[in-house]
């Protein structure tokens, strides 16, 4: 089925009026500034002991422990901190308490340009040891945009990595013989799961494709499914549930247009291509993503939390039992800070990173 831009936009506007309930304040939420002086922090993970490991995009990794921000962690590989590239997503091994292992994604240098790269390392105090590159996306491209680079581990122990279309290679997002515009699935040692959908192709790590630039990824706490959100062009930011071998359509179908207002495509639906769970037009520039689990905000249980870079807020999304959006709420917009990452902590409080030259680690708790 082919749907015109006008009809799709009109349908969504009517749908939005019915279900969206925006709250521009932070009523009932107290914000604690735990740390500042972070240089464009991009990703973080909380360790079992409560410490946070935070990636700064220029290439520095820091530990926040007992109210103190550490000096740079030693042993971080060389990164290409160009435009959107740098030290980006991070996660911890499910058995971190026993093996002290972390995984992180960064833009690495090499012949032909930079690319998204995943390393595994042992965190020993304030240093990384046994740093091992377990995945390098191909091809390398001499441009500093759309790296993706979020990383999560699902309940089966697979490592998922989001990879963007690199800004100049959008058509390649439909090609499963490279890693452009894909979500890949690997084992934590870098090997390829035997049941990946394209194991006989040139890029056997690919799990899903047709993505533009996934900058949020998390695992649903009940179903175990991997959820993503991605930047559209001008309009068309999307939330998706990642499925094996699924094609998410970029750039063949999209609800956005080019930044100069020319069309990317004249259709928003096509057989064999997934429709988003929801999308935003205008774009909110989403970044960071987690489901709320905890007792601190009991009424938010199961809500999806997403940061907005463009409109400086934390977006709380209520879903029904069929994963349909029933309401959206904007929090902290009056602070005028770009939200780059969001995670729910071990204590049930919500933690945010603000994407600024003087970035902050924020803690949200009930008022």
Helix (H, G, I), strand (E, B) or coil at 184: strand
| Preceding amide of 251 cis, omega within 30 | yes
Query: Which secondary structure element, helix H or strand E, spans residue 55, and what is its range?
Result: strand 52-56
Per residue in 171-193, is it b (16+ CB within 10 Å) or e — as a string? ebbbbbebbbbbbbbbebebebb
Give the span between the Cα atoms of 51 and 59, in whole angstroms: 20
Task: Give the active site residue among 40, 146, 158, 211.
Answer: 146
How long is the chain? 367
Backbone angles phi, psi at 169, to 5 degrees: -125, 35
d(CA 75, CA 281): 42
Question: How far apart (Å, rounded) are the C-alpha atoms in residues 287 and 89?
Answer: 11
Beta carbons of 81 and 56 less than 8 angstroms apart: no
Pairing of strands 226-230, 127-136: unpaired
Strand partners, 71: none
Strand partners, 287: 307
3-state DSSP call for residue 365?
strand
Phi and psi at residue 10, to the nearest 5°: -65, -45
- Bridge partners of 342, per DSSP, are 352
Please say if 40 is a catalytic residue. Answer: no
Read off φ and ψ for residue 13, nearest 5 degrees: -60, -40
Q: Which residues of 135-156 are buried (b: 16+ CB within 10 A; e: fewer)?
A: bebbebbeebbbbbbbbbbbee
Closest among 26, 57, 25 to 355, alpha carbons compared: 57
Supply the residues annotated as catalytic. Answer: 146
């Amino acid at each position: 089925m082919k749907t015109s831009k006008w009809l799709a936009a009109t349908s969504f506007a009517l749908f939005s009026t019915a279900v969206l309930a925006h709250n521009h304040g932070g009523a009932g939420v107290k914000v604690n500034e735990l740390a500042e002086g972070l240089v464009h922090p991009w990703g973080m993970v909380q360790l079992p002991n409560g410490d946070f490991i935070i990636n700064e995009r220029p290439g520095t990794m820091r530990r926040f422990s007992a109210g103190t921000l550490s000096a740079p962690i030693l042993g971080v590989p060389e990164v290409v901190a160009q435009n959107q590239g740098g030290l980006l997503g991070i996660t911890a091994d499910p058995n971190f308490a026993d093996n002290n292992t972390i995984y992180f994604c960064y833009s690495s240098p090499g012949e032909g340009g930079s690319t998204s790269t995943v390393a595994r390392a042992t965190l020993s105090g304030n240093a990384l040891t046994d740093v091992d590159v377990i995945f390098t996306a191909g091809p390398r491209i001499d441009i500093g945009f759309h790296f993706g680079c979020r990383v999560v581990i699902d309940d089966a122990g697979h490592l998922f990595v989001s990879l963007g279309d690199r800004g100049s290679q959008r058509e390649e997002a439909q090609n499963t013989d490279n890693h452009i515009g894909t979500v890949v699935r690997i084992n934590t040692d870098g090997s390829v799961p035997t049941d990946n959908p394209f194991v006989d192709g040139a890029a056997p790590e690919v799990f899903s494709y047709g993505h533009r630039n996934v900058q949020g990824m998390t695992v649903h706490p009940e179903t175990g499914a991997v959820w993503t959100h991605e930047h559209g062009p001008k309009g068309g930011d999307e939330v998706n549930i990642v499925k094996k071998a699924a094609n998410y359509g970029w750039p063949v179908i999209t609800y956005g247009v080019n930044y100069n207002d020319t069309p990317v495509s004249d259709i928003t639906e096509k057989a064999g291509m997934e429709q988003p769970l929801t999308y935003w037009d205008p774009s909110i520039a989403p970044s960071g993503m987690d489901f709320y689990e905890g007792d601190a905000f009991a009424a938010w249980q199961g809500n999806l939390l997403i940061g907005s870079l463009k409109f400086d807020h934390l977006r709380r999304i209520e879903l029904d039992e069929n994963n349909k959006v029933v309401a959206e709420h904007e929090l902290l917009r009056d602070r005028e800070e770009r939200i780059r990452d969001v995670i729910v902590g071990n204590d049930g409080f919500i933690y945010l990173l603000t994407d600024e030259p003087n970035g902050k680690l924020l803690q949200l708790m009930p008022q």
